[in-house]
Structure 1
C-alpha cells in the first residue's frame, strides 16, 4: 500500500505478529475453502504435540474456531494447499487484463513496453508455491488490494526497464512489487475497512504489514535478499519521513526506491483520482511536489512515461461552475496557510538541541513542507490574480496551470494532515525524552487536531 502514510512505528514489529497463531489469515483461508477447498497436506500439530487436523482434512471455519486458542508447531500456510491456485498463466492473464482495461497502460504497451516482456517476469511464480497461495487468497478475499498489486507490479517493472536495468534485476523489482503487501493478509480487516479516521494505534497496526511481509519472504526458498530488502523499504522515503526504519536516501536500495515510487503512484491514483474517472496524467503535479521523498530519477522517469502516453488532461470544471471553484481555492489557500503556521510554530518552538531523533525527523518534515509551500504555485500572485478574475466570471474553462494548482492544493492538504498525524503518533507513543517538550507539543497539537477532524481521508496505502 502506498503514499498516504504515517511514520514512526514505536516498536520493531518483532512481537506484533505471531505466525504460529490462528489469526486473520486462517479466517481468510476458512472462507475461501467454501469455494476453493483448502486441503491439509501435513498433519497440523499444536506446539504441545496435540494433533489438531490430520493430513487430507479440508480446512473449514469450524476447525479454525475450535483451535483458535492453540499455538501451532509450524505456520499454517506451510501445512495446507489450495485446490486451485493462481498459476503463471493466470498471473500473466490478470496483468494483461489490467493493461487492456487501463487506457494509460495500454498506451504504454503500444508505444514502449510490449506485452511480451511480461512473460519471462511471470515465469518465476511456478517455483514459488507459497507466493501462489498468498496471491490466490488475496485475489479472492482482498480483491481491491490484488488489483492495486498488479498495477504496482506493472509500474515497478516499467520503471526498472526505463532505467535499463538488466532483465534479472527488473524481474527482482517486479517480484518485490508482487509480494510487497502480502503482510496485509495478516492485518485486522476491521482496521483496514474503517470508514472513519484511524487512530494512532490503528496506524501502528497497519504499518506492521511491512515487517510481516519481510519475515514471511525471508523464509521462502527462491526469494533473494535484495527482493526482501526492497519489500522492507517500500514505505521508506529518501527524506527520512518513511517507516518502519525512517531511512534516508543513502541507506536505501535502488530496488526499494523504485518500489516505493511505484506503490505511491498507484496509491495516489486509486485513492484520489480513479473513483472520479480522472486520468493518470493528474498524478504528475502530486509527484512533483514530493520529489524530496523519492529517488529523483524515478520521478523524472514516471513523468516522462505518463506524458509519453499522450493522454489528454480533462478540464476540472467549466462554465458556470468556474467562479465557485475559484472561490473555494482561495478560501482553501487561506486555511492551508493557517494550518501550516500552527504546525510550524508547534514544532519549532521546542528548539533543536533536544537530541531526540524522532522529533528531529518531524522538524525536518516541516522544513520540507515549508520548501514545498515556497516552491509551489499555490501562493504565487499571478495564480491568485487568475483565480480572483475567474471568480467573477462565467463561461470560462480552467487552464492547465490552475488545474495543476488544484491538484497541488490537494497534495498540500495531504502533507499537513500527514504531519499532524505523525505528531499525534509521536505524542501518544511516550517516546518523548523531555516532559516539558512533550507538554508544549500537546498544547500546540490541541489546535491542530481540529484540522485533522475536518479532513479525515483514507490512506493511499
Structure 2
C-alpha cells in the first residue's frame, strides 16, 4: 500500500502543503462520487498559467476528474465545482435542523437552548470558503458518520460557548474547527476503513495521519486562522498522551482542540450508548464526570455546567420481565471489570516507571484513567452492588432506572478497556524486538484476553442492551 510520504507539492506561506499524491486520493473520491451523483463545473477551471482545463457548465465524468493535472491547478480549484446536494452557507442550517429533528432528545435540548438561532450567524462565515464547502459535501457522502460527528460537535460546541459567553472569535474558531475536523480523511487511500477490525501497523499509521492532512489543507487557505488549523491538527490528541498524531500531553494541546476532542468523544458516547437506552443529552454529564480528571479537563467542566441546566429523570426503559436477567448481567459486568482492572494494574506495576518510552507512559496513563473513571462513576463499587441486591430483593421498581444508568457507566469503562487492549496490541506489533518491556506487554495482553466477557441472553440482546454491548469498530 502506498504510504502518504510524498514530498509537498508546494509550500503555502512557508508552511507545508498537500502533496500531489495526497491530493490525488481526493480526486479519486470525487471521481467515484461522480458515478453516484452529478458533479458540475460552475465556472471555468484554469491552470496556474490561466489556460482552460475544464469549461463552465459541464457535468464531469470520472475519467476527467481522475486525470486533472493537479500539479498545475490552483490550490482551491474545487471552489468551481458543484456536487449534487452541495452544502453552502445557506443550506448548512438545514443539515443542523435535520440532525435535531431526527432525535427527540436532541430536539428537546436544542429547543431549550434556542440552538438554531445561535448557530445561524456562524453558518454565514462558511460563504467565504467555497472550496472547503465542496470538500465538506464530499465528506458527507464518503464518511457520513464523520459528517454527523462534525454537525453534533459544532452544534453542542456553539451552545456551550454561547452560554459561557465566550468571545465571538473563539466561538467562530470552534464552529469552523468542528465542521472541518474530518476533511483530512478525504486525502487518505479509500482502502483505509474506519470500521476495519484489524488494521495493519502501516494502515494505522496512514489513518492517524488524517489530522496532519487536514492541517496541511487548511494552512493553504488565507481566511482560516492559525487557531482553527492547529485545532484540526491536534483534535485527536488526548490530555493523557494517548492520542495522535504526535501524542501531545496536557496544555501542549490547544484549548480549541481540547474542547473538540471532548465534543467528539461525547458524540460517540451518546450515539452508541446513551441514545439506544433512550437517555437524554443531559445524561452525558455523568460520562464527562467519569472522564474529566484525565481526559477532558476544564473543557469538560464547562460542558457539565451547561448539561446540568437540563433537569431530567431517567426512568427504566427495559421490560420488567427481563429485569432479573439484566441485574444478573450488571453483576457479571462488575466482576469482569474488576478482573480487567486487577490485570491492568499488575501490568502497569510490572512495566514500572524506570523507562523512557512515551508509548509505555501513554499505556500506563490509560490504566490510570480507567481507575479514576471507575472512582468518579460513584456506582461501580461493592457498596452499590449491595444496594442493587436490596433493590432486587424488595423489587423497588422506581430504582431500576438507576441500575440501567450504572450499566451504561460500566460500559463507558468497558469501552476504555477495549481501547487499552488495542493500544497494547499496537505496541506489541510496532515493537517486534524481544526485550523486557515488549514481553511484559504481550503477557499482559494475553492475560486480559483470557478474561471472558459476560454472556448476554437472546432476550436482552433484543433490547437496547444488544446495540450497547455489541463491539463497535471505529479506528478514529
Which TM-score band (shorter chain)? 0.7 to 0.9
Q: Match of 2:351, SS?
A: coil
Unaligned runs of 5+ in 1: 1-11
Matches of residues 397-436 of structure 1 in structure 2 within 5 Å?
Answer: 397-430=398-431, 435-436=435-436
Shift of residue 324, structure 1, vs aligned partner: 0.9
| Alpha-carbon distance between aligned partners in 2 of 1:205 and 1:391, rounded to the nearest angstrom | 50
| Alpha-carbon distance between aligned partners in 2 of 1:276 and 1:379, rounded to the nearest angstrom | 19
Q: Are 1:442 and 2:475 matched, yes or no?
A: no
Q: Are 1:78 and 2:77 matched, yes or no?
A: yes
What is the aligned partner in structure 1 of residue 135 from structure 2?
Answer: 134
What is the aligned partner in structure 2 of residue 3 from structure 1?
Answer: none
Contact 1:271 1:458 in 2 (8 A): no
Shift of residue 163, structure 1, vs aligned partner: 2.6
| Alpha-carbon distance between aligned partners in 1 of 2:380 and 2:342, rounded to the nearest angstrom | 14
| Alpha-carbon distance between aligned partners in 1 of 2:376 and 2:168, rounded to the nearest angstrom | 38
What root-mean-square deviation, in Å, do the aligned CA atoms of Structure 1 and Structure 2 show?
A: 3.4
Shift of residue 407, structure 1, vs aligned partner: 1.5
Matches of residues 136-285 of structure 1 in structure 2 within 5 Å?
Answer: 136-192=137-193, 194=195, 196=197, 198=199, 200-275=201-276, 277-285=278-286
Q: Match of 1:413, SS?
A: helix
| Alpha-carbon distance between aligned partners in 2 of 1:439 and 1:238, rounded to the nearest angstrom | 27
What is the aligned partner in structure 2 of residue 7 from structure 1?
Answer: none
Shift of residue 15, structure 1, vs aligned partner: 5.6
| Alpha-carbon distance between aligned partners in 2 of 1:16 and 1:313, rounded to the nearest angstrom | 54
Q: Are 1:42 and 2:45 matched, yes or no?
A: yes
Contact 2:239 2:253 in 1 (8 A): yes
Shift of residue 44, structure 1, vs aligned partner: 6.5
Shift of residue 397, structure 1, vs aligned partner: 4.9
Contact 1:317 1:397 in 2 (8 A): no
TM-score, structure 2 length as denominator? 0.81
Q: Match of 2:91, SS?
A: helix
Contact 1:213 1:232 in 2 (8 A): yes
Contact 1:160 1:258 in 2 (8 A): no
Contact 1:233 1:256 in 2 (8 A): yes
Shift of residue 74, structure 1, vs aligned partner: 4.9
Contact 2:314 2:402 in 1 (8 A): no
What is the aligned partner in structure 1 of residue 352 from structure 2?
Answer: 351
| Alpha-carbon distance between aligned partners in 2 of 1:111 and 1:395, rounded to the nearest angstrom | 32
CA displacement 1:377-420 (0-9 Å, x = unmatched):
34433311133345557683544542332111101111111112
| Alpha-carbon distance between aligned partners in 1 of 2:142 and 2:216, rounded to the nearest angstrom | 22
What is the aligned partner in structure 2 of residue 8 from structure 1?
Answer: none
Shift of residue 75, structure 1, vs aligned partner: 7.5
CA displacement 1:220-260 (0-9 Å, x = unmatched):
12000011111222122223222222222221222222212
Unaligned runs of 5+ in 2: 9-17, 455-469
Contact 2:181 2:214 in 1 (8 A): yes
| Alpha-carbon distance between aligned partners in 2 of 1:453 and 1:400, rounded to the nearest angstrom | 23
Q: How has the CA–CA distance of structure 1 residues 367 and 37 changed in structure 2, closer, same or farther, with 3 Å as cutoff?
A: closer
Contact 2:347 2:441 in 1 (8 A): yes
Higher relative contact order by CA 8 Å / sep ≥ 6: 1 or 2?
1
What is the aligned partner in structure 2 of residue 5 from structure 1?
Answer: none
CA displacement 1:287-332 (0-9 Å, x = unmatched):
2110124444432332333332334423143522221111111111
Q: Match of 1:239, SS?
A: coil
User: Which region of structure 1 is more displaced relative to structure 2, 12-21 or 25-34?
Assistant: 12-21
| Alpha-carbon distance between aligned partners in 1 of 2:70 and 2:173, rounded to the nearest angstrom | 34
Matches of residues 280-299 of structure 1 in structure 2 within 5 Å?
Answer: 280-299=281-300
Contact 2:184 2:210 in 1 (8 A): yes
| Alpha-carbon distance between aligned partners in 1 of 2:321 and 2:198, rounded to the nearest angstrom | 34
Q: How has the CA–CA distance of structure 1 residues 294 and 355 changed in structure 2, closer, same or farther, with 3 Å as cutoff?
A: closer
Q: Match of 2:302, SS?
A: helix
Q: How has the CA–CA distance of structure 1 residues 99 and 309 changed in structure 2, closer, same or farther, with 3 Å as cutoff?
A: farther
User: Which region of structure 1 is more displaced relative to structure 2, 208-217 or 436-445?
Assistant: 436-445
CA displacement 1:408-442 (0-9 Å, x = unmatched):
1101111111112112112222398x822212222
| Alpha-carbon distance between aligned partners in 2 of 1:245 and 1:451, rounded to the nearest angstrom | 32
Shift of residue 262, structure 1, vs aligned partner: 1.4
| Alpha-carbon distance between aligned partners in 2 of 1:460 and 1:325, rounded to the nearest angstrom | 30
What is the aligned partner in structure 2 of residue 319 from structure 1?
Answer: 320
